[in-house]
Amino acid sequence: MPSTLYRDAALADGRSAHLQVGVSLLAEDGRVRWIRPADDEGECPPGCEVVDAGGSTIIPGLVDGHSHLTLPGGSHWIARGSDPTDTLIAVAESNGELQHRSGVRWARDVGSPRRAYDGGERAVSIGVRDRWRGRRDRPYVRAAGTWITVAGTLPAGLTVEARDGDALVAAALGQLDDGADFVKLYLDGPDPETSPWTAAEVGRVVQAVHARGAKVTAHASRLSGTRVCAEAGLDSIEHGFEIDADVARLMAARGVALVTTMTVMKSWLTFATTTSIPRFAEPDGRSRILDRLEQARHSARLAHAAGVAIVGGTDFGGGSARANQLPWEFECLVEAGLEPWQALAAITWRGGELLGEPEAGVIREAAPPTSPSCTATR
Contacts with Zn ion by CB under 5 A lie at: 315, 318
**Using the 8-state DSSP alphabet, how is residue 235 labeled?**
S
Dist CA 257 CA 311 (whole Å): 7
Beta strand 104-109 with 140-143 is parallel
Q: Min. distance of Cβ 375 from Zn ion in angstroms?
A: 29
> Judged by CB, which is closer to Zn ion: 72, or 318?
318
> Judged by CB, which is closer to Zn ion: 209, or 218?
218
> Judged by CB, which is closer to Zn ion: 355, or 362?
355
Q: Min. distance of Cβ 199 from Zn ion in angstroms?
A: 22
> Judged by CB, which is closer to Zn ion: 184, or 350?
184
Q: Which residue is nearest to Zn ion (CB)?
A: 318
Contacts (Cβ under 8 Å, ≥6 apart) of 128: 69, 70, 89, 92, 96, 109, 112, 141, 143
> Judged by CB, which is closer to Zn ion: 64, or 315?
315
Q: Min. distance of Cβ 89 from Zn ion in angstroms?
A: 19
Helix (H) or strand (E) holding 312: strand 310-312
Classify residue 226 by burial, with Cβ atoms within 10 Å: 0-12, 13-18, 19+: buried
Q: Min. distance of Cβ 315 from Zn ion in angstroms?
A: 4
> Judged by CB, which is closer to Zn ion: 201, or 315?
315
Are 234 and 217 in contact, with CB atoms under 8 Å apart? Answer: yes
Contacts (Cβ under 8 Å, ≥6 apart) of 254: 230, 233
142 by DSSP, 3-state: which? Answer: strand
Classify residue 206 by burial, with Cβ atoms within 10 Å: 0-12, 13-18, 19+: buried
Is the sign of the CA dihedral 232, 233, 239, 245 positive or negative?
positive
